[in-house]
Amino acid sequence: MSYFENVPQVKYEGKNSKNPFAFKFYNPDEVILGKKMKDHLRFAMAYWHTLNADGTDPFGSGTLDRTYGKPDTMERAYAKADAAFDLMTKLGIEYFCFHDVDVCPQGNSLEEFKKNLSDITDYFKKKMDETGIKLLWGTANVFGNPRYMSGAGTSPNVDSFVCAAAQIKNAIDATIKLGGLGYVFWGGREGYDTLLNTDMDFELKNLARLLTMARNYARSQGFKGVFYIEPKPKEPTKHQYDFDAATAIGFLRANGLADDFRMNIENNHATLAMHTFQHELRTSAINGMFGSVDANQGDDMLGWDTDMFPSNVYDCTLAMYEVIKAGGFTTGGLNFDSKVRRQSYTPEDIAYAHILDMDSFALGLRAAAALIEDGRIDKFIEERYSSWKSEIGEAILADKCTLDQLEAAAGERWDTKVPSGREEYLQEIINSVLFSL
Amino acid sequence: MSYFENVPQVKYEGKNSKNPFAFKFYNPDEVILGKKMKDHLRFAMAYWHTLNADGTDPFGSGTLDRTYGKPDTMERAYAKADAAFDLMTKLGIEYFCFHDVDVCPQGNSLEEFKKNLSDITDYFKKKMDETGIKLLWGTANVFGNPRYMSGAGTSPNVDSFVCAAAQIKNAIDATIKLGGLGYVFWGGREGYDTLLNTDMDFELKNLARLLTMARNYARSQGFKGVFYIEPKPKEPTKHQYDFDAATAIGFLRANGLADDFRMNIENNHATLAMHTFQHELRTSAINGMFGSVDANQGDDMLGWDTDMFPSNVYDCTLAMYEVIKAGGFTTGGLNFDSKVRRQSYTPEDIAYAHILDMDSFALGLRAAAALIEDGRIDKFIEERYSSWKSEIGEAILADKCTLDQLEAAAGERWDTKVPSGREEYLQEIINSVLFSL
Amino acid sequence: MSYFENVPQVKYEGKNSKNPFAFKFYNPDEVILGKKMKDHLRFAMAYWHTLNADGTDPFGSGTLDRTYGKPDTMERAYAKADAAFDLMTKLGIEYFCFHDVDVCPQGNSLEEFKKNLSDITDYFKKKMDETGIKLLWGTANVFGNPRYMSGAGTSPNVDSFVCAAAQIKNAIDATIKLGGLGYVFWGGREGYDTLLNTDMDFELKNLARLLTMARNYARSQGFKGVFYIEPKPKEPTKHQYDFDAATAIGFLRANGLADDFRMNIENNHATLAMHTFQHELRTSAINGMFGSVDANQGDDMLGWDTDMFPSNVYDCTLAMYEVIKAGGFTTGGLNFDSKVRRQSYTPEDIAYAHILDMDSFALGLRAAAALIEDGRIDKFIEERYSSWKSEIGEAILADKCTLDQLEAAAGERWDTKVPSGREEYLQEIINSVLFSL
Amino acid sequence: MSYFENVPQVKYEGKNSKNPFAFKFYNPDEVILGKKMKDHLRFAMAYWHTLNADGTDPFGSGTLDRTYGKPDTMERAYAKADAAFDLMTKLGIEYFCFHDVDVCPQGNSLEEFKKNLSDITDYFKKKMDETGIKLLWGTANVFGNPRYMSGAGTSPNVDSFVCAAAQIKNAIDATIKLGGLGYVFWGGREGYDTLLNTDMDFELKNLARLLTMARNYARSQGFKGVFYIEPKPKEPTKHQYDFDAATAIGFLRANGLADDFRMNIENNHATLAMHTFQHELRTSAINGMFGSVDANQGDDMLGWDTDMFPSNVYDCTLAMYEVIKAGGFTTGGLNFDSKVRRQSYTPEDIAYAHILDMDSFALGLRAAAALIEDGRIDKFIEERYSSWKSEIGEAILADKCTLDQLEAAAGERWDTKVPSGREEYLQEIINSVLFSL
């Protein structure tokens, strides 16, 4: 009996279908802007939330059975892997992502953990060969164990740093072994709870050291993929060092890491930092740092990482608009780093949730493509900036002007009229296109 | 030359129209759930933002010309009224709302102000007769003048209270004269900036006094309409006494005002109070306090009243869902208490903005009706609560149980399984319906 | 070997002491405003956070050893009780509070749980007699178990309601047995995650039913104490029905419960609702609903319940100012519903944290008393409202005025000058007094 | 008759004084840590809020008379300057800051404005010579005029850029003329309201161009002072490009401006970005970017720039702690970019507000010095990081380790125990020191 036995193969049935186990908008092989939907979207399943998270929250115990009918040994690890590949196959998800500790027991020593990780990745490899499913990225969980309570790369305790290094090395090895396209660093507990006990300068330098070592090691082992930073502003620490894309990019550049790293932007982390999802994607793109996406959505009324499955098609549309404008995913993809709600505790809910998110992003892709084909927004922007094509505009853009020269030109421009920003007109275009798909 | 001379009569052209001066979704006479769209929606124009707000913000001066080519006397008041009725006619908006000070100069004395108000409402009456446009509600601005810097009904200064009473009396008179369906109290500066200088108990009791006097006066003059409280949590004061619907309803009940008052719920005020628009509508409805709506939308990333024209169709859908479930508008309607963005400074932008909001709510209405006709959500809820139709459930609902009796029944229920909340499944229904309109 | 063996008896040593195990400001028997400090403050230890919380958070496992060297049976329950009374004795804390599930294992059935609860409360009784420590209030945890995933009193599942009723009955019995002064209802999961699956009206009515049954039962058993609602706006649910004091008071009044219930105000919950601690206390007091306090402090930069030990003396001062103005605690007290930070994992940190909070509130009490004795703030307020002692003011306050009459009086008051609010001057008084203690 | 005629010379009278026009804590010539208080604090008056802001807010007109009894011509400009220097002299404030448009009328053309600016700065020069008051920094307001509605350096309209360049040139000239120690760029409207109409990449590059031109021009004119960026996350635009210190520093470095620019950190802007004031100062310092401070305080319950006079001594203490640790102010200082509350409308309130802020920072300085002299916090941090002085720690810090080597060392460290973070203990030290001054 399989965990997802009540979940059938999920197929595209079109928007009028009322079959809860069908896609209404995601039609994987349909071609949009010259590329198949599935190749635009590159969906990935997040092993941890999807297979491990049991609904425990700070106010109550787990509601979702995630034992897979097995004791907490490698037996469960294999059963869980079976469930994972079964789910991906049924949904047509072609990528997955994992932390080291998600996939096997940690055992009582580093040695045991290495052994377990080796065994389960052998099993993954076999499953991947059978199904064609690929690894979008790997990562190490260096925040959950009490040894990382004060951070890993930024711990005041050198031993924490050393242990994190060991875990990262093995997670990189596993990623390479499975042909992973990328390797992610999410901040975990790299941050502080109070500056009263923190040497922030020291900690940030050590964080750069750890990333540098990891990069050097991976490259020495032949890893050709991309490293990602996944920014987040708060939680679990009061201040996470990778606050947002601008902060992380500044940090990477200051530490000589910008060539190897890109951003893994999460919608929920963006909004916790009081940025839109679109803003974080744009910031990444214009800095040459666009990489991958964690698609989970937050609740703007709530101040923590709710990690909901994406359902807001406005967000999905503007995100896909940025993705397409940035040239589309190359090594990256759309990872569903999302949790079913604690009350949605049946295995079927996991399928419903993925159908929701895949359909939402399918709609987003359709709408983004339609907006680009429509062309009114692009044209509006071009016209709005057209005054820069004047003589003085081009001189400024060519860095040929001084303040004196501009002062001489200012008098006659003193009563200039800026063109209307037309925000409401543009919003109407969005709605017109979105609701005419 | 009219202010809106570049705005043509706006008509429904359907969703594929690219005419910026056409409705794509709002088809006023189309029948939905047995009623014309325009009668479901009862759109109203807000005189103040639409005709008066000039784009001044705390960081810069006005960008929108709101002089109507006239000096700041009654001449301008008449020109502005012409523009107002021209705009409503071109857009097919059948209601409007105003504050006393929006429509005419305040002059240098109460007497001058009364005269001006009397003259302009005579003019309104004529315009209303000509066009068939009606007054949704009137109100008095008892917060802008420095005499109200510390509140009106809640001022520590008795003179402020007296002046507010005079303004409110005249605004009620004007409302009655124009056949207004309602009269609104928005909190203005009824609140505090610091408890260090505030006798909150005294102030709240005075607020109740003022509302009571106003109710009594209006009824004595034959006013049959509804009074509304419009909750807002913050801004301009640090704490506004009418924080949210629950607070305002509690206040009205405690002061014997619940029979005459209803809620005027604003989306932007809801979200500033960390509630959804839907929540505030539901709270009003289940307390028998559903009344009217200010439809403007906020930006969840920003902490002030942005008063944007509504564009988010999810919000509009869930709002119209509540409106329909509450029985629809009777005396109330959808007032666009919204400002064009400061950069959208042309008269055409005002038309674009109203087309945006009317289309957004038209979509919301279509979607809400479709969800109700679809029936899956209603059915899901019915099933979710079906265990209450058991013997013990009915006994509890009939108030026939004691804790002892329930304890006796608990043992066998100790391992009860609650049905899944299915939030993701329900979200997929929303998207399916919304994107199949 | 005791859990707190490294914690000595903590004594008052005055503000220049550098002994980390000494009070610098809390001098329990010192008389302030005619009453001993300890009788003003009535400190209580929260059994759950102090003895049970192990530092688990959504991103990692526990860091604090809370096994008390025993297996998870009644053996641990007794060892934990020993630690609890040892800590309270060493700190001079005279009250405690508990949930049913904090103090003993839940077992596998209601019967087992009842037995365990009976045994441990026998043990408590003995300990209380020995030490003189009293029970401030009891409560039931009807939110942690999966059966309450969708609420207890507001569950869509009748069985959850029945089980909650059973737990509450037994928790009331335990409270009565131990002479508890109060019984608290914190909202737990009484709220909703999405209105899409929720009948809010039905749920609120059931909540009132449960509270009514509980009140009736307790009174029938001779309970003379106070019932408390502890408002919280969010978390764990998206919307908690007891959002804030105003909401909870409105609910109690609408359901005939206002005579038996008071508010238990928590600082962290106040700020999550975007209110100050002082505001929630004032709101309770002016509605005759002032009761008890949970003193834990939040972090305004973070959007969740951080439950920190109070350290901000401004907050403590303004809170104690309200407590004193409200007549002081009668049945209530100051409960430290606070968690040591996850990185503060030693038993000594628990003592440090309580010394911090007790000293912070001692400072708050000293400052509040000094402000009242200073008198400048009271005098300022009196003068600020003095215009209400005029003829017209008194007529209004006596409800003898109509809008017409006030209009007649308004003309000559049209240019009234409101007295300055002097917020900065008042802040300087606060600082002057606070830093001259 | 002078504007501040009711404000006497303000002197230090010690903490027991009840004279509202006396300092209770600020004793300018008292030596702390080897330096006079006034030289630690370097207070500056902000010309705009203090002399110009009239209390207008989005909901009402001005409450403060800021006409200085003169028509709005150069006459008023001179009268205002007299008031400014009178106030600074009475308070003992030795620095001031101004925008170009604060100090004189803008006239109807650039030429008129230049003439006015030249005249008023002549007058300033004379006043400065007479009083010894100095210019902390100058700046240009390139956000208030409608020509800057879409930004200045980041405008889609080239004319706006040209006009801004002219204003900045003249403001730099004025700064040099008056011996200003710095020149500030606050973001104004450099940001966006919606990405739908924005070429963010283009705009950011233009912003760098403008800063570069300004730097080059000023240096060519012999300016030796420091340029400052003043970060702010939101308001007036939805997204301000200089979101926070990390973002601004990254931008400056990426554009070759890091040698000439430093941060001007504002407390209220820090908290709007969800950072503490201390965090922004620390971030600046560890990046070699510590510069100057705008000391105004926000209200964490409100989502806009409240610009309150600082009163929270915790904030002042931690800020001064960072200032001292960063080596103290060199070219920078503490500018009171604060507004009296709209209800605090008398000239005396301006004096009360400055007494509040100067006393609050005096307390902060005293407390910071006491914490440093106490030494417990420094010592705690040193010990917390002491494991890094081990062999492996030093190897890592010397960049001599690889992941392989660390993996080899990890096994025996797998069960490492991180030292307690002791946050509560450290908070108790803060309170002990603060309330023993």
Q: Exactly one of D99, D275, D279, D354 is catalytic; which is it?
A: D99
CA distance, residue C299 to nearest chain B CA (Å): 17
Count of CB pairs separated by less than 8 Å, C with D: 151
**A412 close to D (CB below 8 A):** no
**Structure confidence at residue B2 as a pLDDT band (50, 70, 90):** confident
CA distance, residue A58 to nearest chain C CA (Å): 7
Mutate to test the interface with A, among C306, C308, C342, C345 (most CBs of A within 10 A): C342
- Please identify among residues 350-389 of chain C the ones whose CB lies closer than 8 Å to any CB of chain B: 377, 380-381, 384-385, 387-388
CATH topology of domain D11-374: TIM Barrel (3.20.20)
Q: Which tokens hold the place of B234?
A: 């913050």
Q: What is the distance between the alpha carbons of residues B355 and B357, in angstroms, rounded to a whole number? A: 6
How many residues appear in chain B?
Answer: 437
CA distance, residue A414 to nearest chain D CA (Å): 6
* Closest among D171, D103, D109, D177 to D142, alpha carbons compared: D171
Residue C279: CB atoms within 10 Å: 26
D294 strand-pairing partners: D266, D335
What are the structural domain ranges in chain C?
11-374, 377-434
C294 strand-pairing partners: C266, C335
**D24 close to C (CB below 8 A):** yes
CB contact under 8 A, C381 and B199: yes
Q: Is the peptide bond before B20 cis (omega within 30 degrees of 0)?
A: no
A336 strand-pairing partners: A45
Q: What is the distance between the alpha carbons of residues B346 and B358, in angstroms, rounded to a whole number? A: 19
CB of D341 within 8 A of CB of D1?
A: no
Q: Exactly one of A40, A49, A100, A102 is catalytic; which is it?
A: A102
End-to-end CA distance of chain C: 41
Set of chain C residues whose Cβ sits within 8 Å of the Cβ of A193: 341, 343
Residue D224: CB atoms within 10 Å: 9
Of B200, B209, B390, nearest to C396 by CB-CB distance is B209
Give the model confidence (pLDDT) of B14-25 as tens digits: 999 999 999 999
Set of chain C residues whose Cβ sits within 8 Å of the Cβ of A155: none
CB of C152 within 8 A of CB of C162?
A: no
CB of D182 within 8 A of CB of D228?
A: yes
Give the model confidence (pLDDT) of C402-434 as tens digits: 999 999 999 999 999 999 999 999 999 999 999
Query: Hey, what amino acid is at B425?
Result: Y
Residue for token pair 């995630």: A66
Q: What is the distance between the alpha carbons of residues D252 and D170, in angstroms, rounded to a whole number? A: 23
Of D146, D148, D238, nearest to B302 by CB-CB distance is D238
Q: Are β-strands C334-336 and C43-46 bridged in parallel, bridged antiparallel, or unpaired?
A: parallel
Give the model confidence (pLDDT) of A144-178 as tens digits: 999 999 999 999 999 999 999 999 999 999 999 99
SS3 A437: coil
Residue for token pair 């071009």: A382
Q: Are β-strands A239-240 and A191-192 bridged in parallel, bridged antiparallel, or unpaired?
A: antiparallel
CA distance, residue A252 to nearest chain B CA (Å): 27
CB contact under 8 A, B165 and C406: yes
Nearest residue of chain C to residue D302 (CA atoms): C274
CA dihedral A201, A205, A211, A215 (to 10 degrees): 150
CB contact under 8 A, D385 and A156: yes
CB contact under 8 A, B62 and D146: yes
Set of chain D residues whose Cβ sits within 8 Å of the Cβ of A279: 195, 239
C-contacting chains (≥3 CB pairs under 8 Å):
A, B, D
CB of D160 within 8 A of CB of A416?
A: yes
Q: What is the mean pLDDT of chain C?
A: 97
CB of A44 within 8 A of CB of A337?
A: no
**C193 close to A (CB below 8 A):** yes
Q: Which tokens hold the place of C356?
A: 């911090």
Give the model confidence (pLDDT) of C223-240 as tens digits: 999 999 999 999 999 999
Give C263's contacts (C-beta < 8 A, 6+ positions apart). C228, C229, C230, C231, C245, C248, C249, C280, C284, C289, C290, C291, C292
Nearest residue of chain D to residue B59 (CA atoms): D144
CB of B430 within 8 A of CB of B423?
A: no
Q: Exactly one of C100, C102, C337, C357 is catalytic; which is it?
A: C102
CB contact under 8 A, A162 and D410: yes
Q: What is the distance between the alpha carbons of residues B47 and B97, in angstroms, rounded to a whole number? A: 6
Of B59, B146, B301, nearest to D61 by CB-CB distance is B146
**Structure confidence at residue B371 as a pLDDT band (50, 70, 90):** very high
* Closest among D21, D57, D40 to D354, alpha carbons compared: D21
Q: What is the distance between the alpha carbons of residues A109 and B162, in angstroms, rounded to a whole number? A: 79
Nearest residue of chain A to residue B428 (CA atoms): A356
Nearest residue of chain B to residue D238 (CA atoms): B302
Q: What is the distance between the alpha carbons of residues C110 and B406, in angstroms, rounded to a whole number? A: 12
Q: Is the pTM of this model over 0.95?
A: yes
CB contact under 8 A, C238 and A145: no
> What integer pLDDT is reported at residue C2 of this predicted model?
87
Of D238, D302, D345, nearest to B234 by CB-CB distance is D302
**B346 close to A (CB below 8 A):** yes
**Structure confidence at residue D116 as a pLDDT band (50, 70, 90):** very high
Q: What is the distance between the alpha carbons of residues D57 and A242, in angstroms, rounded to a whole number? A: 36
Q: What is the distance between the alpha carbons of residues C397 and B203, in angstroms, rounded to a whole number? A: 11
Give A417's contacts (C-beta < 8 A, 6+ positions apart). none
Q: Which tokens hold the place of C175?
A: 């409270």
Set of chain B residues whose Cβ sits within 8 Å of the Cβ of C109: 411, 414
Q: What is the distance between the alpha carbons of residues B404 and A272, in angstroms, rounded to a whole number? A: 46
CB contact under 8 A, B356 and A420: no
Q: Exactly one of A49, A99, A279, A354 is catalytic; which is it?
A: A99
Whether D102 is catalytic is: yes
**A314 close to C (CB below 8 A):** no
Give A39's contacts (C-beta < 8 A, 6+ positions apart). none
Q: How many helices (H) and strands (E) does chain A have?
A: 16, 14
Of D143, D188, D238, nearest to B301 by CB-CB distance is D238
- Please identify among residues 107-126 of chain A the ones whose CB lies closer than 8 Å to any CB of chain B: none
Residue for token pair 């001292």: D324
CB of B357 within 8 A of CB of B311?
A: yes
H helix runs in A223-276, sequence order: 245-254, 267-272
Mutate to test the interface with A, among C48, C56, C57 (most CBs of A within 10 A): C57
Q: What are phi and psi of B333, to 5 degrees?
A: -170, -170
* Closest among C168, C191, C195, C171 to C248, alpha carbons compared: C191
Nearest residue of chain A to residue C192 (CA atoms): A343
pLDDT (tens, 9 = 90+) of chain C, 437 residues, equals 689 999 999 999 999 999 999 999 999 999 999 999 999 999 999 999 999 999 999 999 999 999 999 999 999 999 999 999 999 999 999 999 999 999 999 999 999 999 999 999 999 999 999 999 999 999 999 999 999 999 999 999 999 999 999 999 999 999 999 999 999 999 999 999 999 999 999 999 999 999 999 999 999 999 999 999 999 999 999 999 999 999 999 999 999 999 999 999 999 999 999 999 999 999 999 999 999 999 999 999 999 999 999 999 999 999 999 999 999 999 999 999 999 999 999 999 999 999 999 999 999 999 999 999 999 999 999 999 999 999 999 999 999 999 999 999 999 999 999 999 999 999 999 999 999 99
CB of A68 within 8 A of CB of A80?
A: yes
CA distance, residue A436 to nearest chain B CA (Å): 6
Q: What is the mean pLDDT of chain B?
A: 97
Of B60, B63, B304, nearest to D303 by CB-CB distance is B304
Instruction: Show the low-confidence residues of chain A (pLDDT under 50).
Output: none
CA distance, residue C381 to nearest chain D CA (Å): 14
Q: Exactly one of C99, C269, C279, C354 is catalytic; which is it?
A: C99
* Closest among B72, B67, B78 to B121, alpha carbons compared: B78
Residue B300: CB atoms within 10 Å: 17
CB of D231 within 8 A of CB of D242?
A: yes
* DSSP H or E stretch at residue B363: helix B347-374
**C196 close to A (CB below 8 A):** no
Nearest residue of chain D to residue B192 (CA atoms): D343
* CATH superfamily name and code, A28-374: Divalent-metal-dependent TIM barrel enzymes (3.20.20.150)
CB contact under 8 A, C343 and A148: no
Is the predicted pLDDT of residue D308 greater than 80, yes or no?
Answer: yes
Nearest residue of chain B to residue D186 (CA atoms): B59
Q: Which tokens hold the place of A354?
A: 């993925």
Residue for token pair 């008389």: C31
CB contact under 8 A, A24 and B421: no
Q: In this structure, what DSSP letter does residue C422 have?
A: -
> What integer pLDDT is reported at residue D153 of this predicted model?
98
Give the model confidence (pLDDT) of D168-201 as tens digits: 999 999 999 999 999 999 999 999 999 999 999 9
> What integer pLDDT is reported at residue A1 of this predicted model?
63
Residue B299: CB atoms within 10 Å: 18
CB contact under 8 A, D197 and A422: yes
B-contacting chains (≥3 CB pairs under 8 Å):
A, C, D
CB contact under 8 A, C235 and A304: yes
